[in-house]
Amino acid sequence: MNIILADESATLALGAALAPCMQPGLVVWLDGDLGAGKTTLVRGLLRALGEAGAVKSPTYNLLELHVVSGLNLYHFDFYRLNQPEEYLDAGLDEYFRGNGICLVEWPDRAVPYLPSADLHIRLSVGGDGRMADIHSGSERGERCLTSSAPLAAMFSASPPQR
């Protein structure tokens, strides 16, 4: 499913639309080049869940923890992993075994060790804006996509791509 994100506020709104379907243990992959809007989307999601503090890119420390709405959200950025084995060496796999929600930028850097995604979001640059392509990777992810009313509204507002 594709959504056109005309400006930054649209990316924030897409993140916010995902908030109602966040549940313990969910794994979300965020693909896209540098500057595609991955961190912006996570910021919109966390703000909608009630994060009042800063949502900064975890590029330099690989992980930022946010505790909001009774949920532990782990925001990863694996851009700086040189080898996928570094994911294991740093013990990051532990976070994927618990009840936290894992939001992962640059997931491909930790494949093949990274658990598969319940939701897979690909962001790309198009003109001045961005495009989001969203897929579910599990039944839980599918339920998430179909249960969020704000998300359904965004899908129907975005015309099909030719």
Question: Judged by CB under 6 A, does residue 45 bind ligand ADP?
Answer: no
Count how many Cα atoms sit within 13 Å of the Cα of residue 136 in the half-sphere of its side chain. Answer: 13
Q: What b/e readout covers 106-124, taking b as 16+ CB neighbours within 10 angstroms?
A: bbebbeeebbebbbbbbbe
Of residues 7, 85, 89, 108, which one binds ligand ADP by CB under 6 A? 7
Q: Are strands 119-126 and 27-31 parallel, antiparallel or unpaired?
A: parallel
9 vs 99, which CB is nearer to Mg ion?
A: 9
Helix axes 8-18, 38-48, angle to 10 degrees: 50
**What are the residues facing 3 on neighbouring strands?**
132
Q: Select the residue interacting with ligand ADP from 15, 130, 141, 154 (CB under 6 A).
A: 130
Residue 27 Cβ vs ligand ADP, minimum distance, rounded to whole Å: 18
Judged by CB under 6 A, the residue of 3, 5, 16, 114 near ligand ADP is 5
Site for ligand ADP contains 25 (CB under 6 A): no
Residues that bind ligand ADP (CB under 6 A): 5, 7-8, 10-11, 32, 34-40, 105, 129-130
